Amino acid sequence: QVQLVASGGGLVQAGGSLRLSCAASGRTFSDYIMAWFRQAPGKDRDFVGSIRWSDTTTDYADSVKGRFTISRDNAESTVYLQMNSLKPEDTAVYYCAARARASGWSRFKSDYYYWGQGTQVTVSS
């Protein structure tokens, strides 16, 4: 069983930065792809980016490319989402998720088996 706990959300002004964390436990995470999704009020849950734990290869949505960076700390079993140059439209609840590496890359939320509880990010203008 995989447990994911997301943290680090908060209120930040436009142009600011925030780092989210996703603490993972319960499995050997080298076998997983970890992802971040976000859901704004009244909208669908959208893909933000993902990282393959084994070799740290990443994939990003166009809307965050160049501003957000995903990394992982193997010793801490934690995935990070560093968010820079934040915009009001980045306001959402951010979720971390995991799927088996053998299943390949995916940007679809339905392909992810495990989810954290979400952390609120609010960007003021």
d(CA 84, CA 66): 9
Per-residue pLDDT in tens (0 to 9) along the chain, 125 residues: 789 999 999 999 999 999 999 999 987 788 899 999 999 999 999 999 999 988 899 999 999 999 999 999 988 899 999 999 999 999 999 999 999 888 889 999 999 999 999 999 999 99
The predicted structure's pLDDT at residue 115:
97
Residue 69 CB contacts under 8 Å (≥ 6 apart), including other chains? 58, 81, 82, 84
